[in-house]
Amino acid sequence: MKAMGAMKSCSITLVIIVLLFNLCCFGKAADHQNQEGLGASFIFGDSLVDAGNNNYLPTLSKANISPNGIDFKASKGTPTGRYTNGRTIGDIIGEELGSPNYAVPFLSPNSTGKAILYGVNYASGGGGIMNATGRIFVNRLGMDIQIDYFNITRKQFDKLLGPSKAKDYIMKKSIFSVTIGANDFLNNYLLPVLSIGARLSESPDAFIDDMLSHFRTQLTRLYQLDARKFVIGNVGPIGCIPYQKTINQLKEDECVELPNKLALRYNARLKDLLAQLNENLPGATFVHANVYDLVMDLITNYKQHGFITASKACCGNGGQFAGIIPCGPTSSMCAERSKHVFWDPYHPSEAANLIIAKKLLYGDTKCISPMNLKQLRDH
């Protein structure tokens, strides 16, 4: 009897220890969540922030070939489908805001269960605001499809957390970042093969009107699905990428005028649109990320930022700036990857992404307004 009593007492003690351990761990996890303040990071956009969705599409736009990802520590340098040598701006921002995991690509087999609570990435190389954008690549996820996919995720959150907690988690703790628009110019309006009809029938202002009208609808759809904290990147100086400089045979310190003019025209109107959405959608905060000026500063003052070139791609082939053939196994690669603003003919290096991300996280209203991303997280 005494032995049974002792066993019973041991069992009860063990149960209490297990319960206390679970409570302690749960408490720590909850504390971590409260301290960090970030729920999920939902990333929409194009190849600047694609983390591998295009790996799962039959498309001509892919980055899951070496040496892409050579400096990406999480994969030990193997390609993941990121169009850069290391982390994207989205990866760096997630890390800095306290997320323990990178947002998982929606099309990846891993995007199930609790993995999605840290965030989901819907971005796709070649994607744009307009559905016709990027059709030169055969397949890509445009912004409309990316939101359709978020709708699926939204329902999964209800199942994982219950409708009330899910709504709270998405509305109050999660950040929606959108980096899109460059392909609508580079791989749509400015593309001679596909868009000569569009360009003859549509002035630049009419095309930009069309883009912004679509974008308004898309952002409103996300709002209707409980998105409240938004960061929207404007279009960078696309006339300064190595590809444009190479095909237009420019000098090192020159940029192609038309793409940059179009970007600036679109950007001015985008800022107005975000101001209207801030006024018209109750409880929403739309933050405007001034990517154009941040990238232009890197290009103009590259030496002050520790770079040796802002015109030559580190990985690529063709022409003076290695700007024609995308980065792949047969490409020539620079010796100092952290000293190039551009990784390939189109995309910034991880070193450039890091500078841009830090400005968006902690910078003043010249970089990001009305608040930076650290403030948006705690807002």
**Residue of 61, 91, 347, 349 marked catalytic:** 347
Count other Cβ atoms within 10 Å, centred on residue 140.
26
Non-local CB neighbours of 137 within 8 Å, separated by 6+ positions? 59, 60, 61, 125, 126, 187
**Residue of 50, 91, 184, 344 marked catalytic:** 344
- Amino acid identity of residue 52, one-letter, is G
Ramachandran angles phi, psi of 375, nearest 5°:
-70, -35
Tokens of 226: 């409980």
Let me know the angle formed at the C-alpha of 366 by 361 and 369, rounded to the nearest 5 degrees: 60
Strands (E), the chain: 41-45, 104-105, 119-121, 175-179, 229-233, 285-289, 315-316, 332-333, 368-369
C-alpha 229: how far from chain center: 15
Is residue 47 part of the annotated active site? The answer reads yes
Give the Cα separation of 376 and 365 in Å (integer).
13
Give the Cα separation of 199 and 196 in Å (integer).
5
Q: Which of 96, 27, 179, 162 is nearest to 378 (CA)?
A: 96
Q: Which of 342, 291, 289, 276 is nearest to 313 (CA)?
A: 342
Is residue 214 part of the annotated active site? The answer reads no
**Residue of 41, 47, 111, 331 marked catalytic:** 47
Is residue 347 part of the annotated active site? The answer reads yes
Tokens of 310: 């802002």
Catalytic residues: 47, 344, 347
